[in-house]
Amino acid sequence: MEPLKIYDLAVAWNWEYDREFVRLVQEVFLLNNMSVLEIRAENVEEIFDLLKKGKIQFRYFLDRASDEDDVFQPLARFILKRFRTGNETLIRPINLYDFQILAADKATMHLEFLTHNIEVPYTIIISPYNHKKDIELTITELAKLGRPFIIKPANTTGGGIGVVMGAETLKEIIEARQFHKNDKYLLQETIRPIECAGRRAWFRVFYAFGDIIPSWWDDVTHIYSIFTEDEERQLDVKRLKKITERIHTVCQLEFFSTELVYTADGRCVTVDYVNEMCDMRLQSQFVDGVPDAIVQRIVFRMMEYIKI
């Protein structure tokens, strides 16, 4: 009988641009005498079968596939069920699926953020078209949104899908609701950043297993930049970290990112509430990718988190 093979981490992935991220995970774990199992579409059924038969086991599971590809769903559900029941061979999911679903719902996060005193744009939440075809908006509400405003579905916004920037009219709201008829919609004021250290004060902040990593992120060009020492002194980095820690308390995810903006009225506004599936393309390969040093830091923190 073959001995049970135990991996420290299994990574399920199906996006071609995750290749370098997964390779980096393997390298860092190997250097620390830890093992990684890749789960792809071509081997997921085989791995699922081996897992059910008790021939392999893994301690942690990073799922970057089942939300987009149904072939990974049986494995993801099996692991979640084991975890919930406290099975002696439980596998710990990184970011519980239930928490990811809640975090992905921008309407839910908006209300939670308000409850936890996290600054958010002025927002009107509209019921799904299939639940209520008429829109009930007052002139006061529309006026408070300002012009232009943003229209976005609550759940279908990965990569900006379904988002209407620069909206001006009620007609645009009516038309936008037709694209995702079972989804709630958010109407939001347009947030304009001040200038800080010669840049637009728009930030992407990563929360990675207890480590909080702020960076510049230009909302126009989508380009990241790492803070210099001088910039860190000029910016209120502690404020960015404190807000991100509060967001972690709300969403309970161990790995996510958020977007924060400094405004002229002194606010620090969260504009992209919780990005529960972080794009980990490397900047050395993609101009709008995440700086390599940040990706490496995230991978190292994940290794430390799992090694404990």
* 31 in any annotated domain: yes
Judge whether residue 157 has pLDDT over 70.
Answer: no
Same-domain pairing of 52 and 150: no
In a domain, 284, yes or no: no
User: Is 289 within a domain?
Assistant: no
Q: Percentage of residues in the chain with pLDDT exceeding 70?
A: 96
Q: What angle do CA 184, 250, 212 make, to 5 degrees?
A: 115
Evaluate whether 39 touches 87 at the Cβ level (below 8 Å): no
Tell me if 160 is assigned to some domain. yes
**Does 293 fall in a domain?**
no
Kindly indicate the confidence band of residue 69, based on its pLDDT and cuts at 50, 70 and 90. Answer: very high
**Is the domain of 22 the same as that of 88?**
yes
Q: Look up the pTM and report it.
A: 0.92
Specify whether 99 is located in the same domain as 177.
no
* Number of helical H runs and strand E runs in the chain: 10, 15
Q: Is residue 136 part of a domain?
A: yes
The residue that leads in pLDDT, 178 or 29, is 29
CATH of the domain at 134: 3.30.1490.20
Per-residue model confidence (pLDDT) at position 234:
87
> Is 200 domain-assigned?
yes
DSSP string, 271-302: EEEEESS----BTTT-TTSB-HHHHHHHHHHH
Q: Which domain holds residue 159?
A: 122-189
* Domain end residue (candidates: 76, 94, 112): 94
Asked if residue 162 and residue 19 are part of one domain, the reply reads no
Q: Which tokens in the block code for residue 165?
A: 């920037």
Amino acid identity, residue 92? R
**Residues 251 and 272 placed together within one structural domain of the fold:** yes
**Residues 106-132: tens digit of each pLDDT:** 999 999 999 999 999 999 988 887 877
Same domain, 83 and 22: yes
Structural domain count of the chain: 3
User: What CATH number is given to the structural domain containing 58?
Assistant: 3.40.50
| Residue range 181-200, pLDDT digits in tens | 888 889 999 999 999 988 99
State mean pLDDT over 169-180: 81
Output the domain CATH number for residue 226. Answer: 3.30.470.20
Are residues 103 and 218 located together in one domain of the fold? yes
Question: Is the model's pLDDT at 3 over the cut of 80?
Answer: no
How many angstroms from the chain centroid is the CA of residue 40? Answer: 21
pLDDT value of position 89: 65
**Are residues 271 and 141 part of one domain?**
no
Residue 107 shares a structural domain with residue 87: no
Residues 63 and 102 placed together within one structural domain of the fold: no
Are 15 and 82 in a shared domain? yes
173 and 213 fall within a common domain: no
